[in-house]
Structure 1
Amino acid sequence: MSHQFRYDSDEQDTVAVKVRSDSTDRISRCLQIQRIAADAGFPCARPLTGADLLEPGLVISAETWLPGGEMHTGGEVSFADRSAKLLAELMEILQSQSPTGLGAPPPWMHWNPPTGGLWPPNPVVDALDQDLVPEHVHAIARTVSQRLAQGRLPLVVGHGDWESQNLRWQEGLPWAVHDWDSLVALPEATIVGAASGAFASTAIPTLATIESSEKFIDSYQQARGRQFSQEEREAVWAASLWPALHNARGESLFQSPPVALDALMWQAPERLRRAGVP
């Protein structure tokens, strides 16, 4: 979603320069929140500049160069605890931050677009043959969207792309969390829910097992020192499906291997049951 360049600076040593299609206002807010996390000791790069326009529609910024660490690619259940506790640590740091200024969430978290359509607008994706998407994917997406639209939970700030491919570890300890352009303003339960379904995704995104998602959710609550309400628990499980639905649609449209698509077929009924859908 962005281009990143290594730049050897006389003033700042080595820095990372990021260029992406976005608005300066939204990226400025993301950088502000990222800087707050870095100042609190959270493992992430520290922004060194604000957001500027490189050219119309292209936003540029710079941050500290933070290479290294390893991406976890092993078992899901054992990793769920570590990943959930790290997310809980971040949410604790950001809990006092206003959710304003972040705009619409990315499409893999955007289950209620203001257009009233099922999927958020995307000219490239929308131009493809939508008949390639199985009807049951649309049906599950409609159910999830309607279920999440019923909620009245407060918005908070959180990371909206909590996949293993965005986390790096050293000897089991967190080394770096990347992709701060994917910050979102959504209810805490839905941020945790989406993460519980997507946390194990690496190069090929998929849907975690139900056992792993359950472990992730339990570990998060334990780390935060509170239990979700009934409404939050149902929102968690509903949101756990959306990133996989987004990916399954993409697999169908681009005729990629049906990784998320197959996982949805087996898991959607139980996840929807836990979401309180009859």
Structure 2
Amino acid sequence: MRTADAMRAHLDDDAPVLERRALGTTDLDSAARRLEECCARVLAPVEECLFYRSNVGMVAGLVLADSRRIVAKVHQPGQTRARLTTAQRVQAHLADAGYPAPRPLALAHCGHSFVTFEELREDGAHLDGHEGPVRQAMAVALAEQVRLAGEVPEVLALTREPLRGQRVLWCRSPHSPFDFDATRRGAEWIDDLARRALEILREDPGTTVVGHTDWRVEQMRFADDRVSVAYDWDSLVLDSETTLVGYAARAFPLDWERGGTRMWPTPAEQAAFVAEYETARGRPFTAAERRAVAAAGVFQSAYGARCEHSVAGDEDEVPADSQRAGLAAYGAALFTVLD
């Protein structure tokens, strides 16, 4: 279908907020034309739009006049050329090494934002992260990604404030839909757990590495008990390995798009993910590092629960598969899940 029609079908009656912010217009014909002109300038003219999604960023699957099938991702205005260029260098290194990352193709400026282009990879199938072989494949692939990314020089542009240095409980991006300040009531227990996690992480001894900070099953496909393709490589950051593994150990089952599965791992699943990562890494974490991994997992769970709480309104019952339910089920016991 036409790109503008794909935008309309996806947005339905929703306002084109991201389209206006990133591409400078609420007129979807104009927004689509700007994106297509950008693509033609750096790659080739667009023949067809396969899909369109608009969430944190805007993603379109496109067929080009030269028959290539690609993905164009329009980023938030705050993303910098230096950061995206560095992320693409790491992504290209992964692809060159045979890692299941789509090969980056180009970077261009469009409207108020940057657009990254990469090959469209759809090999494999989406699976349930709670299945043991799927979880293990994700842990192994994360360890391999961290190892390979460590071979890429000059990655300081991927630096973000480390969790161990964070002094504000909840850091909000300028365009975040979650208002934590206005929704404190009823969330005190979540904030308390997050605050305790940050206190532990002040002493985080983890090594600084480049890793994918949104490592969840929704972002990947699988074949033959391995990850066949992983997406969303602008999520690469330079941060503590313990933070990245802690996040992944709590987030790996998340799949909002397909649903139908519990959004949190049990403590046993979380511990298994970390153990599988350690095996693939070739050495175990120290006791202090494992304490930091667990604390980072608590903080990740608390953040997800806090986001849910901020949009739940006067909801009487917490859904059993929600992140709030997962955090409430185990609470402070999650700090010792790796002991």
Same fold per superposition (TM over 0.5): yes
Q: Distance in 1 between matches of 2:141 and 2:229?
A: 11
Q: Distance in 2 between matches of 1:15 and 1:129?
A: 41
2:30 aligns with none
Q: Single out whichever of 32-41 and 164-173 deviates more from structure 2.
A: 164-173
2:254 aligns with 201
CA deviation profile, 1:50-72 (whole Å, cap 9, x unmatched): x332123x111211111242221
Q: Which amino acid aligns with 1:80?
A: R
Q: Distance in 1 between matches of 2:129 and 2:335?
A: 27
Q: Distance in 1 between matches of 2:156 and 2:238?
A: 7
Deviation at 1:7, TM superposition (A): 2.5
CA deviation profile, 1:69-88 (whole Å, cap 9, x unmatched): 22212634443222111111
* Partner SS for 2:169: coil
Q: Distance in 2 between matches of 1:155 and 1:61?
A: 26
Are 1:104 and 2:157 an aligned pair? no
Q: Distance in 2 between matches of 1:142 and 1:120?
A: 13
Are 1:119 and 2:170 an aligned pair? yes
Q: How does 1:166-181 map to 2 (within 5 A)?
A: 166-181=219-234
1:273 aligns with 336
Deviation at 1:170, TM superposition (A): 2.3
Considering only CA atoms, is the larger Rg found in Structure 1 or Structure 2?
Answer: 2
Distance 1:242 1:97, change over 3 A: farther
- Percent identity over paired residues: 25
Distance 1:91 1:12, change over 3 A: farther
Q: 1:138 aligns with which of 174, 186, 191?
A: 191
Q: Single out whichever of 62-71 and 10-19 deviates more from structure 2.
A: 10-19
CA deviation profile, 1:152-185 (whole Å, cap 9, x unmatched): 4331100101100011012433211001011111
Q: 1:240 aligns with which of 297, 311, 326?
A: 297
CA deviation profile, 1:89-124 (whole Å, cap 9, x unmatched): 21221123355111427xxxx74575x321012354
1:184 aligns with 237
CA deviation profile, 1:232-269 (whole Å, cap 9, x unmatched): 11111111122221110111110075511111112232
2:119 aligns with 64
Distance 1:111 1:119, change over 3 A: farther
CA deviation profile, 1:189-231 (whole Å, cap 9, x unmatched): 2211111111111115832111011111111111111011111
The answer to whether the 8 A contact 1:238-1:275 is kept is no
Q: Which has the higher contact order (CA 8 A, sep 6+)?
A: 1
1:40 aligns with 97
Q: Distance in 2 between matches of 1:226 and 1:53?
A: 43
The answer to whether the 8 A contact 2:220-2:231 is kept is yes
Are 1:31 and 2:88 an aligned pair? yes
Structure 1 gap ranges (5+): none
The answer to whether the 8 A contact 1:206-1:244 is kept is no
The answer to whether the 8 A contact 2:133-2:225 is kept is no
* Partner SS for 2:117: strand
Structure 2 gap ranges (5+): 1-55
Displaced runs of 4+ in structure 1, greater than 6 A?
Answer: none
Q: Which amino acid aligns with 1:117?
A: V
TM-score normalized by the length of structure 1: 0.88
* Partner SS for 1:125: coil
RMSD (CA atoms): 2.3
Q: Which amino acid aligns with 2:84?
A: I
Q: Single out whichever of 213-222 and 22-31 deviates more from structure 2.
A: 22-31
Q: Which amino acid aligns with 2:207?
A: P
2:203 aligns with 150
Q: Single out whichever of 153-162 and 71-80 deviates more from structure 2.
A: 71-80
